[in-house]
Chains A and B, each alone.
Chain A
Amino acid sequence: MIEVKKLSKSFQKHQVLKDVDLTVKKGSIYGLIGANGSGKTTLIKHLMGIYKQDAGEVFINNEKVFENNDIKKSIGYIPDELYYFPMYSMKNMASFYKKIYPNWNEERYINMVHTFELDENRRINKLSKGMQRQVAFILTLSTMPEVMILDEPIDGLDPLMRKKVWKYIVEDVAERDVSVLISSHNLKELESICDYVGILNRGQMLIERDLDELKSDVHKIQVVYKTEIPEEITKDVNVLHQEKRGTVYLFIVKGEQKEIVSKFNKYNPMILDILPLTLEEIFIYELGGVGYEIQNVIF
């Protein structure tokens, strides 16, 4: 379990995180999303005890993380920029990990090297970027972590490798109740794997919610009326975004689906379509609500 309470951090005069709260329940897969520079990596570095916070607290399995070696042994971390010792092969790296992580699982390691079809003896720094990511996964998952913190882990992996990686992660969650926090810009993939999401915006947590709940709360509505659109309707419902294409109106509306439909139906539409939003759309419209320019984003 990961718990962050009122975390704040500034670098010189620049405030990067402001009163951030975050909770990842045991056995949950949490997607952390946010625009570039919104503070995701900084937040993650606090979870790992790499940065010391100015204010607030970070707990993993109910223990403070900073300079707590015992708790770090149970965390699997893949940073955004990988680091390997120069001249080390994966085999060398594995024996280093074995000394540090008490739960190292040799059987799993051998098994994974096999599935990913990597040469253990090649120098890691000579491998391609994607293969270096695979090495990171193999090493991290072989430590049998209780908590996984993955900073943009799948970037640079080919589709087949992603599938393998997700399979291992899902397996760990299903069988060992591992808690996972993933940051990524690949919202489609996050959407299919996460059950909880947090949207970080300019150092503050904008939304933190169950993904299905979040998705059932915002709707995309296409509607056509015989005459002009009744003015009152935009006052009746909570409109996040509105657009007109020919005679078709497009609304992004927040609220209970039944209620919204009945309100639109009151004015006898010729066509009324209601669609759930994708995570990508939620992300864009929610940020649009807090002052992001979205006019030019095309769907």
Chain B
Amino acid sequence: MFQIDLTSRKPIYEQVMDKFKQLIIKEILSADEKIPSVRELATQLTINPNTIQKSYRELERQGYIYSVRGRGNFVSNKIKKVDEEKLNKLKQQVQNSLSELIYLGIEKEELIELIEKTYAMIKGGSRDD
């Protein structure tokens, strides 16, 4: 399903969460699709089941997935509510990178083009269907 980088300083449960968010936002996992059980994923990735459990709990709290007792975890069908904290952090990151690019002499048009290209790359697929 995905790989975890064990050499990264980022905690494993966060890595697992990020991967799922990516898969959900890119619609590789669609709404109401079942995601692997804690056991399945733990054995598949050779990761402590408690760590996976923690990621799922947090994903559920943030509204990316929901759990059905006895049946497992599913992708939420209303994922408009991205958590504010993450949003602000990302915006800050983008701002930092943008200012660096501006210092390096990149023109405004080029920046806009870059944004449009990235946007099209991510969202482009869904426009066709």
Contact = CB atoms under 8 A, between A and B. Distances in A.
Interface of A: 27-29, 163, 166-167, 170-171, 173-175, 188, 191-195, 212, 215-216, 275-278
B5 to A, nearest CB: 10
Given A174-B39, A215-B11, A166 B50 contact: no
Given A167-B43, A170-B43, A276 B11 contact: yes
A279 to B, nearest CB: 11
Interface residues of B, number: 18
Interface string B1-45: 000001101111100000000000000000000000011001100
11 contacts: A29-B50, A163-B46, A167-B46, A170-B42, A170-B43, A171-B43, A173-B42, A192-B47, A276-B9, A276-B11, A277-B9
Q: DSSP class of A's interface residues: helix, strand, loop or mixed?
A: helix
Which of B10, B50, B51, B54 has the most chain A CB atoms inside 10 A of its CB?
B50
Q: DSSP class of B's interface residues: helix, strand, loop or mixed?
A: helix
A212 B9 contact: no
Nearest to B42: A174
A56 B10 CA distance: 38
Contacts of B42: 170, 173-174
Contact of A173 (B7, B11, B49): B49
Which of A28, A173, A191, A275 has the most chain B CB atoms inside 10 A of its CB?
A173
A215 B7 CA distance: 15
Given A174-B38, A174-B42, A175-B39, A194 B48 contact: yes
